[in-house]
Amino acid sequence: MTRSVALSHLSLELGHLYMDDFNGGEKALREQFRRVLPWAGTAAASVTHARPRISTCFLIDDYFTRFSTPRDAVTMLTEAARAEGLTIDYVARESGCARAGDVDLARLVEDHLVDEPAEGANGRPATKVTGWLSNGERSPAAPTSAMAAPRQWQPARQSAVQNHSIFVDVELWNEQPDGGRLWSCPFLAAVWQLQRLGLLRRLGEPIAEPVPATPGELPAEWDLMPPIVRLEPEAAPFRAYRTFTVMESRFLPIELAVRTILGAVAVDPGAAAQVRDRARGEGLDLPEETVGRVGYALL
């Protein structure tokens, strides 16, 4: 039994910043939101439903670098947004895309990755072994034996090529000395997109339901903050049929990797069917492929 989740028409992400961005203080955050505002308005206007449901969100990186406290960081963030005419309904921790409570969320998504063997595959180990995911076949390596015959160079080739290849090879994680994994930014961002699209389940249950709180109620340590917090009591649902993210153009390589990953995830069929049926019930025609539901504005 797959439990359904409430869905907005659009999940609008108002940015994705790192510690250095927060170090600029409220002035730098206000400038960021000033640039985001017109694009957020355009994205919201694209929802043509008679009674549009649009929720806003923001992802804070507490996975690769710990800084400040949830209370102080979220307070500064929401005040800067409000000063520029924007409201943040939901705030999430990036580490909550790796693990949410007792759910090893990143490994759950890893278990749903499907390798796409390239034409004439040359025996490259599976993604689960290497931690690397590609959208085709990389250029063969040179012979390692001095006695081996010269090997003619061949280019990397994209699997679903259209005229010319754009080959992408993405590192999903690397192994740590303690035996754990450090998940890559693109992989965690892919988990984040799947979460926003309402497509993640564990044993049929949604993962990391938003917890109501105000910035002042948040804890002083990141590990004690829920993975997703709902700041606005009357906010539309966190998850949505489509997502839209406004971000700096420096994130373009990461988002190319995110889209490559999303194209390799076999989504939970029960969750996928629910979202598709609900959309049809509202007269919406969703793209079959998950990645087709993800949009961006690059500043």
> What's the pTM?
0.91
Confidence grade of residue 289 (pLDDT, cut at 50, 70, 90): very high
| Count of structural domains within the chain | 1
Longest dimension (CA), the chain: 71
- Say yes or no to pLDDT of 142 above 60: no
Compute CA distances 111 → 25, 90, 167, 188, 231, whole Å: 39, 27, 23, 14, 32
Chain-centroid distance of CA 198 in Å reads 12
* Pair of tokens at residue 54: 């649009």
Q: Which helix (H) or strand (E) holds 35?
A: helix 25-45
Does residue 104 lie within any of the structural domains? yes
Does residue 136 lie within any of the structural domains? no
Does residue 120 lie within any of the structural domains? no
Does residue 133 lie within any of the structural domains? no
Does residue 292 lie within any of the structural domains? yes
Does residue 151 lie within any of the structural domains? no
In eight-state DSSP terms, residue 228 is E
* Least confident range of 13-27, 108-122, 179-193, 210-224: 108-122
Compute CA distances 35 → 23, 126, 282, whole Å: 18, 42, 32
Q: What is the CA radius of gyration of the chain?
A: 21
What is the predicted pLDDT for the residue at 144?
52
Span 150-176, average pLDDT: 81
Does residue 131 lie within any of the structural domains? no
Confidence grade of residue 19 (pLDDT, cut at 50, 70, 90): confident
The identity of residue 102, as a single letter, is: D
Distance CA 58, CA 288 (A): 26
Span 149-166, average pLDDT: 74
Instruction: Quickly tell me which residue has 């004439």 as its tokens.
Output: 120
Does residue 270 lie within any of the structural domains? yes
Domain range enclosing 97 = 8-110+185-256+265-298
* Pair of tokens at residue 69: 């406290």
